[in-house]
Amino acid sequence: MELCTQTIVANEVKITRRSGNHHPTIWGNHFLAYADLSVANEEEEKQHDDLKEEVRKMLVMMAPSKYLQKLDLINTIQRLGIAYHFECEIEESLSYMYTCYEEWIDEVDDDDLHAIAICFRLLRQQGYYVSCGKYCSNSSKI
């Protein structure tokens, strides 16, 4: 038994650790405090809702004669990944454009491949059948 107690005593050697003696931080406890996030989140949500309403108004109130600007706006909204907020407005806009398609597609300059491509892609993507006649005539330019 004595052997066991001797080993236990040998393991009870007190280890002293050196102190780092670090200086206090120059910032104090400033970064330990935090702001109330619920107020900030409410303000951000209100701002997001206001911006969504502004974009919704842009989609709905844009003059029918500005179809290319509306197509660019829809394209931008989709590319930003926020189109799910405006599905109804986009559907209504593209539906109206499709019903008036024959009237305004002739006004598009044949050399404006950007406008033709966006129009074709957006209408086809939404499920509307659009003839590629006007688009195929420009294939030699590409």
> pLDDT 10s digit of each residue in the chain, 142 long?
555 555 555 567 777 777 777 777 777 776 666 666 676 788 889 999 999 999 999 988 888 778 888 999 999 999 999 999 999 999 999 898 888 877 777 777 777 788 888 888 998 898 888 777 655 555 555 5
Distance CA 114, CA 117 (A): 5
Q: Which homologous superfamily is 42-142 in?
A: Terpene synthase, N-terminal domain (1.50.10.130)
Please answer whether residues 109 and 115 qualify as being in contact, where contact means their C-beta atoms are separated by less than 8 angstroms: yes
Residues 6 or more apart whose CB falls under 8 angstroms from that of 72 comprise 118
pTM over 0.75: no
> Which single residue is written with the structure tokens 């599905």?
87
Domain boundaries along the sequence of the chain: 42-142
For residue 140, what is the DSSP state?
T
